[in-house]
Amino acid sequence: MALERRGSETLIDRLLVSRTLAGDGHAADRLVRRHYPRILKFAQYLTGSRADAEDLAQQTFLKAKEALPRFRHDCSFSTWLHRIAYREFTHYLRDRKERTGEFPEGSMGFSGRSEDAVVLYAAIAELPAELRDAFVLREIQDLSVREVAVLLEIPEGTVKSRNHTARERLKERLAGTWEAMDEAARIGGKREPI
């Protein structure tokens, strides 16, 4: 059923892309409406800020509009947009680091979270970038292995391997932390669930 839904979404996107390239403004608007919520969610996760996420999502769609004539349909339109958003995020980080000398607070999803989630996301942030990227895109953003592979420009087997390694490292890292949090909650209060 999910595969069937993805297939029909891909066909709809292909039709909308084709009509957009032919100058149909309504098709372009529909493409944006279909994909904006997911790109915004992805951008908000990456930046940790609603305002920065809105800017990043807007920049993503501007870049997509410029690049649309070069879209080759070698991946889904959604994956292509995520790739642009991720690339724009790396520019955002680089620019922010050059201006301030540090990465933005709250990036990679750390703002406004429960205690458990903060611990989890802090552990994710400590993963090497190649493991973190594969894990976040697959497990948190819920992209398929193929979509992550296309987005990161790596083989599908590498996505699976990195995701597995990330899970194992997170299990090791968090085992003692959550036991300590449970003990503190038993003594002094209730622990919030993720």
Question: pLDDT tens track of the chain, all 194 residues?
Answer: 444 445 566 789 999 999 999 999 999 999 999 999 989 988 888 887 899 999 999 999 999 999 999 998 877 888 889 889 888 887 887 777 666 655 555 555 444 445 566 667 667 877 888 898 898 888 877 788 998 898 888 999 999 999 999 999 988 888 766 555 555 445 544 434 44
User: What confidence score (pLDDT) does residue 190 get?
Assistant: 43
Report the SS3 class of residue 48. coil
User: What confidence score (pLDDT) does residue 150 get?
Assistant: 85
Torsion of CA 104, 80, 146, 1, to 10 degrees: 110
Please give the Cα distance from 56 to 137 (Å, whole number): 17
User: What confidence score (pLDDT) does residue 4 get?
Assistant: 44
With 0.85 as the threshold, say if the pTM is over it: no
Q: Which strand (E) or helix (H) includes residue 52?
A: helix 50-67
User: What confidence score (pLDDT) does residue 3 get?
Assistant: 41
Please give the Cα distance from 27 to 35 (Å, whole number): 12
Name all domains of the chain by residue range, CATH numbers in brackets.
1-112 (1.10.1740.10), 114-194 (1.10.10.10)
Please give the Cα distance from 18 to 36 (Å, whole number): 19
In this structure, the number of other CB atoms found within 10 A of the CB of residue 136 comes to 23
Do 111 and 122 contact (CB within 8 A), yes or no? Answer: no
Residue 70 carries which DSSP code? G
Q: Give the number of C-alpha atoms closer than 13 A to the C-alpha of residue 76, restricted to the C-beta side.
A: 22
Query: For the range 177-182, what are the long-range contacts, defined as Cβ-Cβ under 8 Å and sequence gap of 24 or more?
Result: 177/119, 177/123, 178/116, 178/119, 181/115, 181/116, 181/119
* Cα-Cα end-to-end distance for the chain: 29
Number of H helices, E strands in the chain: 8, 0
